[in-house]
Every structure is written in structure tokens, then in C-alpha cells.
Amino acid sequence: MDKLKDVIKDSLSETDSPTDSDGLLICEKCGKPKQKKMVLPGRDKPFIVHIPCECEERAERERLEREEKAAAKAKADKMRRECFAASGFYRDCTFETDDGMTPALSSRCRRYADMFDPKEPYGLLLWGSVGTGKSFMSSAIANRVINRGFSALQTDVRSIVNLMESSFENRQRNLDRILGYDLLLIEDLGAQRSTSYMMEHVYSVIDGRYKTGKPMVVTTNFGGDRINGSISDSDDPWSRIFDRILERCYPIRFTGQNRRTIKKEDMRKVMKERLGI
Ligand SMILES: [Zn+2]
């Protein structure tokens, strides 16, 4: 019954729709024609075809925009899973969730991410002591760059070595993959004890990025003597790696309170109260 009512309503509204002097329907909202007459060769009688009015064209544009947005979001979500595969925790580190404790550092990192261009070889070296938010910022950069439609991979020495410790063919394929990302982020460089064999793999990745002119963001706990080049010894494998990095990555020093200590103190305060200590 309701269906029948709808049909009657529709046909009524169709007949109620305004028409132009030729009897063609015009849109009551935008006043533009919704029909036009067409004449086919060899046929005398013109026939009437539907044409989109301004409202329909706008609705179609909006539908396409929604589809494009959804596709871009799906692409970014997929890229994010790939980027943070080795470090899922960092996936939620964004400039929006920044605690605001170091506004100058946040601003520099955000500017880098906002102006990121994969054709530009320069990157960042985030250095400073433990717990100063280097990994958070590096992850926030990755997230912003991915949101802007670029590809990124966050990795560390262990993952690089795992990827490179395979057959020659696979090694080449994995190296090509690492070199293919618009941005490569290497976490905690120098944190673990590394054998010369491991360092060789790390060097080949960093040197590959260097030679292909592709940007990197590197975080490290290494101190200033390493960064300002006062330790530069050709026999020292780290010197060789840092020479390459410092040619392309602008060093930003992370200072300030250790967030881990603050978190520990917060936890103790809460628990002391709860436990009646
Ligand atoms: Zn209209």
C-alpha cells in the first residue's frame, strides 16, 4: 500500500514539476533544465532525454569526492600497517596526540612532515638521551607523511638485518623494497650491540638511500661527539655510517625531561595512594 502511495506521489510530483516553454522539465530547486530534446538523423520525431541539473551535478561531484577520500584513507591505512609492522605501538603516535612538552621540537618535526617531498634527499637525525620523545616524533612524521599520500617504512637495525640475512636474490629484492619507500625511518640506531656483519647490512641500506637520493629520518641515543664529527675514524664502522647520515640528515637535539621517569613517578604516586602507603 505504501509503495502504491509512493508511486502516486512520484507521478504527481513529476507532473507538478515546472516545465519550460517547450514543455521540458526544469528543476524546481536550481531552475536548470532536467530534460532536452534530441533529434537523431533519419528520424523526424525528437525524443526527450534526461540531463543533470546543477543539483544533480553537485551531488555527483560530492559522491566522487567521498569516494576519492575513502580510497585515500584505505590506502593510508594499508600503508600505516605496512610502515609500523615491526613496531605497532608507534602507529598511534601523531602530532595530534603529542603531549606538547617540547613545542619547539614538535614544530620542527611537523614542518618537516608538512613540507616532505620524496624528491628532496634531506632528512632528519633526531638525537639525544633516552625518553626524550625521539621515536614518538619520528612516528608522528611517518603518520603525517602517510596521510599526505606518500609511502614510509619504520624499521630498526634488527629488522634490517633480518631482511638482509637471506639468499642473495631475496636480499636484493628486500634492499630494493627498502630503497623504494618515499621515506625510511630508522629507529634507535646504535642501541644494540652490533657486529661488523650487522653493520655492513645497515651500511648498505643507508648507502643505498644516499646514492638514490632518498630521504631518511634516523633516531639515535648517540651523543654529541658522534654528531659533531669529533669521532671520525675510518676504522670505526659507526663513523662510516654517521658520515653518510650527517651528509643528508639535519641533526635535531632532543633535550628535556625523561618521559619514562615522569611516567614512573606518576605511577608511584597513584599506587601509593591506592595502597595506602
Ligand atoms: Zn536542480
33 Cα to the center of ligand 1, angstroms = 8
Length of the chain: 277
53 Cα to the center of ligand 1, angstroms = 5
> What's the N-to-C CA distance of the chain in angstroms?
73
What residues contact 157, with CB distance under 8 A and at least 6 apart? 186, 188, 189, 191, 192, 194, 198, 202
Average pLDDT over residues 144-152: 96
91 Cα to the center of ligand 1, angstroms = 44
Confidence band, pLDDT 50/70/90 cuts, at residue 230:
low
Confidence band, pLDDT 50/70/90 cuts, at residue 2:
low
Confidence band, pLDDT 50/70/90 cuts, at residue 185:
very high
Kind and range of the H or E element at 170? helix 168-180
Model confidence pLDDT, tens digit, residues 44-79: 888 899 999 999 999 999 999 999 999 999 999 999
24 Cα to the center of ligand 1, angstroms = 14
The DSSP 8-state label assigned to residue 90 in this structure reads G
Q: Reduced to 3 states, what is the DSSP secondary structure of residue 46?
A: coil
Average pLDDT over residues 204-208: 94
52 Cα to the center of ligand 1, angstroms = 8
**Do the strands 47-50 and 123-128 form a parallel or antiparallel pair, or are they unpaired?**
unpaired
pLDDT, residue 22, reads 85
Whole-angstrom CA distances from 232 to 162, 218, 227, 237, 256 are 28, 19, 10, 10, 27
User: What whole-number percentage of the chain has pLDDT above 90?
Assistant: 57
5 Cα to the center of ligand 1, angstroms = 24
14 Cα to the center of ligand 1, angstroms = 14
pLDDT, residue 165, reads 83
Q: Taking the CB of residue 122, how many other CB atoms lie within 10 A of it? A: 13
Average pLDDT in the chain: 87
Which fold does the domain 84-263 belong to in CATH? Rossmann fold (3.40.50)
56 Cα to the center of ligand 1, angstroms = 6
* Dihedral of the alpha carbons of 108, 110, 116, 121, in degrees to the nearest 10: 30
- The sign one gets for the Cα dihedral 174, 92, 215, 71 is positive
Confidence band, pLDDT 50/70/90 cuts, at residue 23:
confident
Model confidence pLDDT, tens digit, residues 84-132: 987 767 888 999 999 888 999 999 999 999 999 999 999 999 999 888 8
User: What whole-number percentage of the chain has pLDDT above 70?
Assistant: 91
45 Cα to the center of ligand 1, angstroms = 27
Q: What is the pTM of this model?
A: 0.78
44 Cα to the center of ligand 1, angstroms = 30
4 Cα to the center of ligand 1, angstroms = 26
Cα 263 from Cα 248, distance rounded (Å)? 34
pLDDT, residue 249, reads 96
What residues contact 196, with CB distance under 8 A and at least 6 apart? 237
Cα 130 from Cα 119, distance rounded (Å)? 32
Phi-psi category of residue 23: left, alpha or beta, with phi > 0 → left and psi -120 to 50 → alpha: left
Confidence band, pLDDT 50/70/90 cuts, at residue 11:
very low
pLDDT, residue 45, reads 84
Residues 124 and 112: beta-carbon distance below 8 Å: yes
Residue 254 has pLDDT above 60, yes or no: yes
Kind and range of the H or E element at 137? helix 134-147
pLDDT, residue 8, reads 44
Full strand arrangement of the beta sheet holding 183-189: 152-156, 183-189, 216-220, 123-128, 249-254
256 Cα to the center of ligand 1, angstroms = 60
57 Cα to the center of ligand 1, angstroms = 8
- The sign one gets for the Cα dihedral 235, 237, 238, 242 is positive
Q: Taking the CB of residue 142, how many other CB atoms lie within 10 A of it? A: 28
Confidence band, pLDDT 50/70/90 cuts, at residue 224:
confident
Side-chain-side CA neighbours of 225 within 13 Å: the count stands at: 3
Residue 7 has pLDDT above 50, yes or no: no
Query: What are the structural domain ranges in the chain?
Result: 18-80, 84-263
Residue 245 has pLDDT above 50, yes or no: yes
